[in-house]
């Protein structure tokens, strides 16, 4: 039975604490997740992005995407204690959905036409922009053309990396790693000139206590990145349920609260909640 038929539309805003989600470990999926068990949802998230999706040393997941995932699950009738978290990296998100390993992907997952050939999306629930993270004293990178010939770092499988190679700066010396933390080390050691990713992600790193004052966002807004909830292809019923949950999160103030909690400390002010238009319907 598909998850959209297995869950009910119970109205339950479930947040484990004000800004922290607790649940099963990312390895405890039992090979079926929410698709085979009406009481659970398996959700793929990032576990290495401060402010977005981070797994703490004691195994708790926290961040904006975690709050979104917990809220959506609650509206689908699944409390936080029965969410099974699955840590993922950008290059694996489509594969997890195609194989049926997870029910939802909520992991800074930009909606693109290329990805929609393999999976579907609900949302969007957030609008980010591709930007650069540079050393605080570096004022040399003021536009995309300044990246040509410079050493740039991004994450394998990310839209940021594709944007650089395809249109923004094809002559840049782009290095790709599985995690932005590897890029951050290179930036700090001056092995690369800039780290490019979504501004929401970069702000989380810049706002970390150990990094404050070392880096800054260039503020270039090189692209629009509409974060969506990844769902198995053509699962229209589940998409409708998730869209309703996202709309409720905005209307009842939970979305604004999550933004203040996770982005406020870094001084990052994101765009307002975008209009939900991934309905699968024309127009």
Assess whether 119 and 204 both reside in one domain. Answer: no
Contact 59, 128 (CB under 8 A): no
Pairing type for strands 41-45 and 104-105 reads: parallel
pLDDT at 37 over 90: no
Give me the domain span that covers residue 261. Answer: 3-127+226-266
Contact 114, 257 (CB under 8 A): no
Write down the pLDDT at residue 212.
78
Q: Which helix (H) or strand (E) holds 238?
A: helix 236-251
- Single pTM value for the model: 0.81
Q: Distance (Å, rounded) from C-alpha 91 to C-alpha 81?
A: 28
Average pLDDT in the 172-179 region? 89
Assess whether 193 and 59 both reside in one domain. Answer: no
Assess whether 139 and 80 both reside in one domain. Answer: no
What are the Cα distances from residue 252, in Å, to 191, 234, 245? 45, 28, 11
What CATH number should be reported for the domain holding residue 33? 3.40.190.10
Q: Would residue 280 count as lying in a domain?
A: no
Query: Could you give the number of structural domains in the chain?
Result: 2
pLDDT at 2 over 70: no
Assess whether 181 and 122 both reside in one domain. Answer: no
Assess whether 17 and 77 both reside in one domain. Answer: yes
Q: Distance (Å, rounded) from C-alpha 157 to C-alpha 237?
A: 28
Q: Would residue 278 count as lying in a domain?
A: no
Residues 6+ apart with CB under 8 A from 139: none
Q: Would residue 108 count as lying in a domain?
A: yes
Q: Distance (Å, rounded) from C-alpha 172 to C-alpha 151?
A: 6
- Give per-residue pLDDT as tens, 129-174: 999 999 999 999 988 889 899 999 998 888 888 898 888 989 999 9
Write down the pLDDT at residue 20.
44
Q: What is the largest CA-CA distance in the chain?
A: 56
Residues 6+ apart with CB under 8 A from 140: 146, 193
Q: Would residue 43 count as lying in a domain?
A: yes
Q: Distance (Å, rounded) from C-alpha 101 to C-alpha 7?
A: 17
Assess whether 121 and 25 both reside in one domain. Answer: yes
Per the prediction, the chain carries an average pLDDT of 85
Write down the pLDDT at residue 7.
40
Lowest mean pLDDT among 40-44, 46-50, 132-136, 204-208: 204-208
- Give per-residue pLDDT as tens, 212-264: 788 989 999 999 999 999 999 989 999 999 999 999 999 999 999 999 999 88
């Amino acid at each position: 039975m598909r998850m959209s038929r297995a869950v009910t539309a119970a109205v339950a805003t479930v947040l484990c604490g004000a800004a922290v989600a607790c649940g099963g470990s990312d390895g405890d999926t039992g090979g079926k997740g929410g698709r085979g068990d009406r009481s659970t949802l398996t959700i793929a998230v990032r576990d290495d992005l401060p402010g977005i999706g981070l797994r703490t040393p004691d195994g708790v997941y926290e961040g904006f995407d975690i709050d979104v995932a917990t809220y959506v699950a609650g509206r689908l009738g699944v409390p936080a204690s029965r969410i099974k978290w699955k840590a993922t990296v950008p290059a694996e998100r489509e594969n997890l959905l195609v194989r049926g390993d997870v029910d939802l992907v909520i992991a800074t997952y930009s909606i693109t036409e290329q990805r929609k050939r393999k999976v579907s999306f609900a949302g969007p629930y957030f609008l980010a922009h591709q930007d650069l993270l540079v050393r605080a004293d570096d004022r040399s990178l003021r536009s995309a053309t300044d990246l040509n010939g410079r050493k740039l770092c991004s994450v394998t499988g990310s839209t940021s990396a594709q944007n650089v190679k395809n249109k923004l700066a094809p002559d840049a010396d782009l290095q790709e790693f599985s995690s932005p933390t590897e890029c951050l080390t290179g930036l700090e050691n001056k092995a690369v000139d800039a780290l490019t990713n979504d501004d929401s992600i970069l702000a989380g790193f810049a706002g970390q206590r150990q990094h404050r004052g070392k880096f800054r966002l260039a503020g270039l807004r090189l692209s629009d990145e509409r974060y969506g909830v990844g769902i198995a292809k053509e699962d229209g019923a589940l998409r409708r349920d998730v869209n309703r949950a996202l709309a409720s999160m905005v209307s009842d103030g939970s979305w604004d609260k999550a933004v203040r909690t996770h982005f406020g400390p870094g001084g990052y002010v994101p765009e307002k909640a975008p209009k939900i238009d991934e309905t699968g319907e024309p127009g």
